[in-house]
Structure 1
Amino acid sequence: MTVAIRTILLASTIFAATPAFAQDASDDADDGDTIVVIGTALPPPPGSAAYSTAEIDRDRLLADASGRIENALRDVAGFQQFRRSDSRSANPSAQGVTLRGLGGNASSRALVLLDGVPVADPFFGYVPFNAVAPERLASARITRGGGTGAFGAGALTGTIELTSASPASLPALSGRALYGSGNASEVSLATAGPLGAGHVVLGGRYDRGDGFYTVPEATRGPNDVRARYANGSLSAQAVIPTGGGSELQARALVFRDDRTLRYAGADSRSEGLDTSLRFVARGRWQFEALVYAQARNFANVVVSSTRFVPVLDQRATPSTGLGGKIELRPPTGEAVTLRFGLDARQADGELRENAISAFSGSLTARRQAGGRNLTAGLFGEGDWTLGELTLTGGARIDRYTITRGFFAEANAAGVPTIDQAYPDRAGWEPSVRAGLRYQVAPALALRSAAYTGFRLPTLNELYRPFTVFPVVTRANPALSPERLRGIEAGFDWAPREDVGVSITGFANRLEDAIANVTIGPNLRERQNIDAIVAYGVEFDAHAALGAFDLSASYAFSGAKVSATGAAAAIDGRPPAQSPRHAASSTIGWNHDAARASLTGRYVGRQFEDDLGANPLPAAFTLDGFASVPLSRRAMLIARVENLFDAEVVTRRVGNDSEIGAPRIVWLGLTIDIR
């Protein structure tokens, strides 16, 4: 029996024993001065303030001009996907997330959580942002750096915590519909209300559009088509109090996303069903137990860029993710916070694809590849508040296994030509983190932290080769885990409640970094290189000045590769897809219920590849948003993306390049019934 399944059974036993925890919780449940918001996780411990953290509130999430969560997260400079495209025109498998310029491949080096549950695809490691509707969220909290800590493996460059909205911030019934350039439409509907002493929230969203050309007009050919897209999602969340300050939280999300990538017939489809169950007790003995399951699939057709016919049918990539977490916080008094626990995460997946002749259109080969990854860890962390000084420290130990890896290929007649089974591997990974925050004055706090962490290679990196013509990239079943060491220091200055500045300097070293390394003409292989070393600074500020509010974020990362042996040619170079500079700034205006804002975003020059042969120029875009009340329940919304129609290059190989979203204008209506 796997560790993940044992975790689920253990958590189920704990759920059955909830009255014991409820009795402990009742000591504080009747405090009339305490307001408890149900449906959330246990609050962050005091020591979390020692790390570089930024938060995007619900109002700002709803005011992004694109209406897409991945673009709203770009308010925090340093957040980046593998490519500059968003979830309308990117290949889904390239939507990995990282922070602090530590990019280089399409898998996520930051851990993205939705209500405590990892969001990344179990096989590829990408984040299905199209499934996460901003209108269903209460906030997004981004911790840059911070190490693995109590979040589990994978939080190398940081953690992005998305929290679902509850009836406290949602109307009883809300709907919105928008129409935009390129025959685009966005429709969503949500309802929130009581369920006994708890509540239930149901939501749905559907987006579609004829899209835009991802090739500049000067080089556009007759076979280039618009990047059409259609995606939809349904979600349900129920919270049931179980007595004495404890509650059971259930969540389900189902989604599907269809896209056309550049050429007619180059279609992709991703779909999934995620479910989770979380028990939270908020009494003297605080306790949280979470179990979750993911069922995902991805399909993709690759079209030849010279003959414009299908050459590869990735007909299915089914994968499953299972996991859970248990955390206990014993009563220790106001000055000390302790938490202990265990977590486990398992990923299973398999690629099924057919190779097709570009000349005859006939099947030439059938391929299958996949395996299983498992991590299971124990963690402990403590925070101590000594007057104006807060200290935090923790450690965890993880056991990982990489098993059942295989690659098989058969010819058109079904006769096996390759049948490889890779040896199982296992290991232990310790990690630690520590930090402090000192309130020097009422308006000024100093902080510093040091941490380590690790990430297993994804099933995609281990077993799936791919081709982006004319470049072939090999998989590598011998990849080792990535390991990070980091330090940071900074300060938070808040002279007033509505004014704040935060500056952080950091140094990170990502050892055994997985990168696509050029090993021959038009041939690359995923390899562990010696390290990626990043030194940089992050700046965040906000201010409210009467009817206006201002926010700004800037990140500099001087990341460079340290490499020897087969990868020596990239030694000293910046990692692929990693800009040195990124910035975002928003000016907003509010008057009664009317709102307007302008958001400028800048991303510096970066390189498509490891050798720096294909530079992507810097880009600046300006977005606008406005909402005007028509009545007590209705609101008119206007949005404009890329106001000046800037050309943002998202991919370049030689003279062939692709671009991101042009100017897109939206107009729509929202209706809220309280």
Structure 2
Amino acid sequence: MSDAATRAFRWAGFGGLLLGTLPTGAAAEEQPIIVTGTGLPDTPATPAYDSQIIDRERLTATASGRIEDALASVAGFQQFRRTDSRASNPSAQGITLRALGGNATSRALMLLDGVPVADPFFGYIPLSALAPERLAGIRVTRGGGSGPFGAGALAGTIELISADAATLGPVSGQLLIDDRGETEAGATLAAPLGGGFAVVSGRWDRGRGFYTTPADQRGPATARAAYESWSAQVRLVAPLTDTVELQARGLAFDDRRTLRFAGADSTSEGQEASLRLVGRGDWAFDLLGYVQARNFTNIVLSSSSFRPVLDQRNTPSTGIGGKFELRPPVGGAHVLRLGADYRRSDGELFETALNGMTGAVTERRNAGGTNSDLGLFVEDDWTLGALTLTAGARADRYSIADGFYSARDGANLPLVDENFANRSGWEGSLRGGAVWRVTPALRLRAAAYSGLRLPTLNELYRPFVVFPVTTEANAALRNERLKGYETGVDLTPARGVDLALTLFDNRVEDAVANVTLTPTLRQRQNIDAIEARGVELSAGIRRGIVRFEGSAAYTDAVARGSGAAAALDGMRPAQTPRWAASATLSLAPAAGWTLAGTLRHVGRQYEDDLESDALPAATVLDLYAAMPLAGRFGLVLRGENVAGTRIVTRNQDGSIDLGTPRTLWVGLRVGY
């Protein structure tokens, strides 16, 4: 990692984990003020919660070049389906941690420079808009509840930190092509701007894709998973005073793809802007505001006639929000955090149901609503020599309002016209923990926490069909609540060797699940709970030119249900493996050289809540190589799933989708 990147991590708070130091008290005051475009530094008790760092070196050396590939190196991270964003419907890109299951909505909170990333209507993550080469690093915190991060951090928090101009260099980029003729192109321009900097970056991915349908299930209408996506981002960072900096960011993206059948097309697009003021003086503060605009379209085809049966022609949504955090100077032994955050999500769905044989309109549907959350939080870290204690409380005022669902027939006559009662209330959350540095090489930690997630507009109001199964919405869904605790040990037996072990027990009460009512009908319902207990292990070793990063998780997760959901009681939650592991071995034999191999394993899991359709375990090997050419140019070779493992990503009563086959890339890069 470059000196500039190291400084950026230190100010972002990652230095405590990467470098073994935490910038607190007098030590923080001795640090020079550096404009980096990051937020406030971590507090002393940050290590009390189970965190794992993905640094820039690992982000830019993935076989697929996708951010989900980098995140998969943290065992316990999981997408709703075990496929990347090139071959999945965007609305299926929900993320979670610790095998807490769920549907396509995210149970983990992802933040990009402090801004929530999830779609305001669906709750999915627009993964194709998040280019790993733009980032300085990622911190994944499993568990930990909501705390100062806001509602939605039910299973944990994933913090993406953008890289500064010094890390990126004046010009950087890459251009690659794979053995199917697909291309990946990206470029970044970065330059000093006064005492700050400016960064402009763009990325464009396109390809005909691969057949997700097995050869023996293909028909005349079967199509490759073709895709085309682009994203562009502008960041400006400037000092306003010696201790206050202004950060501005704008992001736009567009994603288009075809899945399974010709004409089964979907699109996802978005624009967002944010402003942030960060003060690093005695009264440190972080003031953030943002606005997001998103849209989604999708065409569903009949699996028999291969004609459209549903046109989700428009799903506009808007997210606005902000956060203010203040750290008053209360004394060297304490770090006090006071703050508030707010989020509001508005959106609605316009879709048309069609006769699969004639194409005639059978029904027109419109649904939507508004969700909002105002959170107030306080947290204090108290350092007592080698022991650091932390405790925090949060109160959320939530509102679920303006919900409606209407349907009209082909003659535009009303079939359904429902307006749902507004709901609001207060929810409280607590979290606390302790870190004890027994020796310079040994650290013990423990934490307990609770958290909150509101059901999304999609879960509340939008029914959907994955033929032949219809899943109904449920406007009466209650908030999900998390209660959990964990304990762990961090060990550094030698320089460059970091080991960690965590035992955890998490329980999501009133978990939202797609409950099977009949073979062709499901409904989103609050089940009693999802319980997840397990162990997480991680290892990082740097020895000369050799680097090893490993992570493994075993999770015993079960669903608890009664009433209509009694059949799933004791079952493993849908899309939830018991075992997940990742190991990367890399070599840097000379300047500009990187040789790496990554082995990942995901255990057997089930498509549905009743464990009727299994997805077999899969072990995948990826390879990566980069070597210098002339000047700042280099050659890149990448291999995805080089052993050709058959990865089943969907199994619905024998109808199967497959994940990425063996894929080989070659290309040029500059400035990395």
Task: Quote the offset at 1:33 in angstroms.
Answer: 5.3
Of 394, 417, 420, the residue aligned with 1:419 is 417
Task: Quote the offset at 1:30 in angstroms.
Answer: 13
Which amino acid letter does the alignment assign opposite residue 660 of structure 1? G
- Contact 1:337–1:382 (CA under 8 A) maintained in structure 2: yes
Q: 1:404 to 1:178 in 2, by over 3 A?
A: same
> Which whole-Å CA distance do the structure 2 matches of 1:262 and 1:181 have between them?
21
> Which whole-Å CA distance do the structure 2 matches of 1:550 and 1:182 have between them?
31
- Contact 1:250–1:277 (CA under 8 A) maintained in structure 2: yes
Which amino acid letter does the alignment assign opposite residue 641 of structure 1? E
Match of 2:198 in 1: 200
Q: How does 1:483-494 map to 2 (within 5 A)?
A: 483-494=481-492
- Contact 2:35–2:238 (CA under 8 A) maintained in structure 1: no
> Which whole-Å CA distance do the structure 2 matches of 1:373 and 1:314 have between them?
21
Structure 2: unaligned runs, 5 residues or longer: 1-25
Cα offsets for 1:296-340 (capped at 9, x unmatched): 000000011111111100001000000000000011232210010
Match of 2:624 in 1: 625
> Which whole-Å CA distance do the structure 1 matches of 2:29 and 2:375 have between them?
36
Task: Quote the offset at 1:32 in angstroms.
Answer: 7.6
- Contact 1:29–1:283 (CA under 8 A) maintained in structure 2: no
Which amino acid letter does the alignment assign opposite residue 470 of structure 2? V
Q: How does 1:506-525 map to 2 (within 5 A)?
A: 506-525=504-523
Task: Quote the offset at 1:477 in angstroms.
Answer: 0.2
Match of 1:397 in 2: 395
- Contact 2:445–2:487 (CA under 8 A) maintained in structure 1: yes
Task: Quote the offset at 1:381 in angstroms.
Answer: 0.2
Structure 1: unaligned runs, 5 residues or longer: 1-27
Match of 1:410 in 2: 408
Give the ranges of 4+ consecutive aligned residues of structure 1 lying more than 4 Å apart after TM superposition.
Answer: 28-33
Q: How does 1:136-535 map to 2 (within 5 A)?
A: 136-535=134-533
Normalised to the residue count of structure 2, the TM-score between the two structures is 0.95
> Which whole-Å CA distance do the structure 2 matches of 1:348 and 1:37 have between them?
35
Task: Quote the offset at 1:603 in angstroms.
Answer: 0.2
> Which whole-Å CA distance do the structure 2 matches of 1:331 and 1:179 have between them?
54
Which amino acid letter does the alignment assign opposite residue 555 of structure 2? S
Of 95, 98, 109, the residue aligned with 1:100 is 98
Task: Quote the offset at 1:633 in angstroms.
Answer: 0.7
> Which whole-Å CA distance do the structure 2 matches of 1:144 and 1:94 have between them?
21
Identity over aligned pairs, percent: 55
Is residue 612 of structure 1 aligned with residue 572 of structure 2?
no
Cα offsets for 1:173-230 (capped at 9, x unmatched): 1121000122210111111111111110000000001100001123222221100000
> Which whole-Å CA distance do the structure 1 matches of 2:636 and 2:52 have between them?
27
- Contact 1:29–1:244 (CA under 8 A) maintained in structure 2: no
> Which whole-Å CA distance do the structure 2 matches of 1:444 and 1:120 have between them?
37
Task: Quote the offset at 1:418 in angstroms.
Answer: 1.1
Task: Quote the offset at 1:31 in angstroms.
Answer: 7.5
- Contact 2:602–2:618 (CA under 8 A) maintained in structure 1: yes
> Which whole-Å CA distance do the structure 2 matches of 1:118 and 1:315 have between them?
25
RMSD over aligned CA atoms reads 1.4
Match of 1:11 in 2: none
Cα offsets for 1:41-74 (capped at 9, x unmatched): 0011111110000000001000000000011100
- Contact 1:136–1:164 (CA under 8 A) maintained in structure 2: yes
> Which whole-Å CA distance do the structure 1 matches of 2:407 and 2:31 have between them?
66
> Which whole-Å CA distance do the structure 2 matches of 1:655 and 1:167 have between them?
50
- Contact 2:131–2:203 (CA under 8 A) maintained in structure 1: yes
Q: Secondary structure at the match of 1:448?
A: strand
Is residue 116 of structure 1 aligned with residue 114 of structure 2?
yes
Q: Secondary structure at the match of 1:150?
A: helix
Is residue 648 of structure 1 aligned with residue 652 of structure 2?
no
Task: Quote the offset at 1:546 in angstroms.
Answer: 2.2
- Contact 2:175–2:185 (CA under 8 A) maintained in structure 1: yes
> Which whole-Å CA distance do the structure 2 matches of 1:33 and 1:339 have between them?
21
Match of 2:59 in 1: 61
Q: How does 1:116-135 map to 2 (within 5 A)?
A: 116-135=114-133
Match of 1:638 in 2: 637
Task: Quote the offset at 1:625 in angstroms.
Answer: 0.3
> Which whole-Å CA distance do the structure 2 matches of 1:207 and 1:30 have between them?
42
Cα offsets for 1:105-124 (capped at 9, x unmatched): 11000000000000000000
Q: Secondary structure at the match of 2:405?
A: strand
> Which whole-Å CA distance do the structure 2 matches of 1:151 and 1:424 have between them?
26
Match of 2:23 in 1: none
Task: Quote the offset at 1:647 in angstroms.
Answer: 0.7
Cα offsets for 1:226-263 (capped at 9, x unmatched): 00000000000001110121011000000000000110
- Contact 2:574–2:606 (CA under 8 A) maintained in structure 1: yes
Q: 1:383 to 1:404 in 2, by over 3 A?
A: same
Equivalent residues, number? 647
> Which whole-Å CA distance do the structure 2 matches of 1:660 and 1:425 have between them?
41
